[in-house]
Structure 1
């Protein structure tokens, strides 16, 4: 499907905007799961000020959705109405070392790049980012973490742009970080953050990074079309354990499959639709609820519209499963 041209339809004067504006841009090319319909309008701002200028001219009734590297996104097949904002590497992909263990980084910086730049500078505390796919914008909002460390441990303050085009600054304490969550304003797009680590020999840091990467390569299907962990860990347990116990390792619907290597990872085997993937996830949730009484929460963000005549109900049970459900 395609959407009406938003700029022409709303008569937006974008002559002063320096970034790139693309109507009906397919999003399957920028999500790791490689599915999803188009963005009605994709905007890639030149810098923070350009983003603020665009937000000021954009009518408040037009939805706005920021996306990063698309590592944990499931965009539905009907696409996303309104504006999708993606920060470019050119405008928001730099890391600067400021001394005293301080790093300033743009929100489009891949998590792994921050770990690498910190290692070069002999700054410890960032090795855990080596095993996290995605960019810092998402890590800042969801308090991304791994191997006993989290974003809240190293983030000092950040810069963002509100829906009204105001440039704001927030401290770590303002976000009230907790497991995979923050109280960051939902209408604010993060553009930059300041981090602080501690001095350490680069060799020791790189050894820690190598251990993180080795663990990830052995435990996760990183060479597949996946979106990372599908569900959050329930209190007192691990998502993969309850999924495995419910018999969902290798479960497949259409072109979507729960990984045999790590059954909290969904895989697009090559021809999956977004519907296949979401239906698989909800089927897993239903089976885990039936088996253990645990209601798994999605960690992958599901966004956008279903095509006409299509829907996926939460906790869709066995009675709703289609032909094509299989186990490996």
Structure 2
């Protein structure tokens, strides 16, 4: 059984027993055995190629759609930093973006360059890597609508370029293997008027502020929308608006958002989510599925 002492040398930052709560928008959860921020793609590829196969590897982004359990995460957590945040507008209304680039910055760069079709990214508070992994979408658009190709590294450090069709996109789903680490994407937009695109983005910003608890410790949409319905409507119909478990609460503003009040634990948030699922199943017969990604282990009893 390999240990962290068997990890290969890196040029980036490798921190042992790294707290992950500050990296999650819930601000809850335990530590990672190790947190690796690669210096660049070559550093990441060499690390993946030399990291023992029995050491778990988990990739995170901005932590906006993430719940880190209180017992922490075993193995290595990889977080793509500034080296993976480049954004470039290319001929033909194409936008090349690193997987660590925030979605909102990609949307803004596209708008300023007169590239239409990417405004929906303004409504996704994550990174391009997360958008690729879960076919992120909002306000009538999703990643599969505009992705031309994506580049990744596998667990052996080998690079691969994926076409849109090869990504196996479905609603909030990507068919690429879980151990694939996306490093870059190319989006195919279309020519547009910068002012009109910026106006569309401003409308998205105003809508989010008016309907979502954007200034709270939350993880965004908690559950996927079931076919033909909305998760928030089912949650509200089940009487869960404002429901609390410990320091966690269902948002009064938007029922598909869970809020972690000061003192809340990840166990509170997860228990609240499961209670919401139970009540919705009991009242409507619908089994809600988590959209928030949950990683790590519960705290020891």
* TM-score of the superposed pair, with normalisation by structure 2: 0.98
- Partners of 1:244 and 1:224 in 2: CA distance: 20
Shift of 1:177: 1.1
Q: Which residue of 2 aligns with 1:186?
A: 178
Partner of 1:217: 209
Q: Distance in 1 between matches of 2:300 and 2:138?
A: 39
The 5 Å alignment of 1:1-328 reads 6-8=3-5, 10=6, 12-14=7-9, 17-88=10-81, 90-309=82-301
> Shift of the alpha carbon at 1:97?
1.1
Offset from partner CA, 1:269-324 (integer Å, 9 cap, x none): 11100000000000000011111111000000111011122xxxxxxxxxxxxxxx
Q: Distance in 1 between matches of 2:76 and 2:282?
A: 39
C-alpha contact 1:6 1:23 (8 A) present in aligned 2: no
RMSD value, Cα: 1.0
Q: What corresponds to 1:322 in structure 2?
A: none
Cα deviation, residue 48, structure 1? 1.3
What is the Cα deviation at residue 6 of structure 1? 4.3
Aligned match of 1:313:
none
> For the Cα contact (< 8 Å) 1:6–1:40, is it kept in 2?
no
Structure 2 gap ranges (5+): none
Retained in 2: the 8 A contact 1:6–1:41? no
1:242, 1:288 within 8 Å by CA — same for their partners in 2? yes
Deviation at 1:13, TM superposition (A): 3.9
**Any stretches of 5+ residues in structure 1 without a counterpart?**
310-328
**CA-to-partner distance for each residue in 1:102-159, whole Å, 9 max, x for gaps?**
1110001101000000011000001111111110101011111111111011111111
Secondary structure at the counterpart of residue 178 of structure 1: coil
1:64-112 per-residue CA deviation (whole Å, 9 max, x = no partner) reads 0000000011110000000000000x20011011111011100011010
TM-score, normalization: structure 1? Answer: 0.90
